[in-house]
Amino acid sequence: MRALVAERLPGAHIEVLGIEPAAERRVGGPASLHGRTLAKRELDKQLLDGKIDLAVHWMKEVPCDAPLPEGVTFGAYLKRPDVHDVVVFRQGSPYRSLDELPTGSAVGTASVHRAGQLLRHRPDVRVHSTYGDADSQIETLDTGRGYEAVVVARSEIARPQPPTRAVEVLGLDVMCPPIGAAAIGVACRVDDDRLSDLLYTIDVPVARSHITAERTLQHGLRAHYDSPIAGHCTSTPDGRLSMRGLVFTRDGRHLVEICEQDAANRPTRLGTRVSAGLLSRGVGALITV
């Protein structure tokens, strides 16, 4: 993001300020959700107070029930990178794919949506909760904790992996991404014409449509980051929006799935249709805190 701004505002002084990433907070309960809401509110307040000019968000961690305050808007959604998840195996593991793992193997993940779908595909493995970012989770593989592999987002692996470590890319049919997977949104003040105009030049309309549809689905289900749901919107070759929405039990035994399409300029309607379809099939009881 810094490079994009510097390219469009030559000579501008750019300072990057950070807060504790939401991904490093405790995963799996109301405290985690509360922490994400507080982090977003903190950034919103800093924007409105003029302490920062832009706020960069991982959209998967922005609560759908915490709307932007008056005076703040998402001026740009960046091009979405790869949304696939990967299975990363411990060093020296004889296995190269999820299907090769023997019954009873210990697999780690920090995500409810990954755990449920993993157990759906391999109900005979043992899924354990891991913590921290993707690189931190990968480090646990080689510390003698007994994990055979961890499942993480491919786009979130920052450190190069040795060529001797096996990594399997999971198909979207096996592991549907979470709402807002890998998406980055950039917020600014509504009355900041200079930065609003700048963000307009880097906004990716198709990414905006996909994220809007997914977040509408999540909002319609009254779900959050730690709910056992997944959803992914793409565009068909003829430009229509296509979205897959899933709700499942945390043990993966029960799953409800709906796929719908709509016009390219109707992302909100598409998200509403998918959430309504899922709710009509009784998924409300599966979505718990």
Q: What is the pLDDT of residues 117-150, one digit of tens each?
A: 999 999 999 999 999 999 999 998 988 788 999 9
Looking at the fold, whether 55 and 185 belong to one and the same domain comes out as yes
Q: What is the CATH number of the domain that holds 43?
A: 3.30.160.40
Type of residue found at 52: I
In this structure, is residue 111 part of a structural domain? yes
Task: Report the percentage of the chain scoring pLDDT > 90.
Answer: 75
Q: What is the pLDDT of residues 42-97, one digit of tens each?
A: 888 899 999 999 999 999 988 887 778 899 999 999 999 999 999 999 999 999 99
The whole domain housing 230 covers 2-81+179-286
In this structure, is residue 174 part of a structural domain? no
Q: What is the pLDDT of residues 230-243, one digit of tens each?
A: 999 999 999 999 99
In this structure, is residue 21 part of a structural domain? yes
Give the mean pLDDT of 246-256. Answer: 95
Q: What is the pLDDT of residues 165-208, one digit of tens each?
A: 999 999 999 999 999 999 999 999 999 999 999 999 999 999 99
The per-residue DSSP string of 183-239 comes to -EEEEEETT-HHHHHHHHHH--HHHHHHHHHHHHHHHHHT--TTSSEEEEEEE-TTS
Q: Of 110, 140, 169, which residue is a domain's last?
A: 169
Looking at the fold, whether 63 and 158 belong to one and the same domain comes out as no
Domain count, the chain: 2
Q: What pLDDT does residue 26 have?
A: 44
Looking at the fold, whether 71 and 95 belong to one and the same domain comes out as no
Residues in the chain: 289
Q: What is the CATH number of the domain that holds 89?
A: 3.40.190.10
In this structure, is residue 196 part of a structural domain? yes
Token reading at 205: 């309309």
In this structure, is residue 245 part of a structural domain? yes
Looking at the fold, whether 233 and 215 belong to one and the same domain comes out as yes
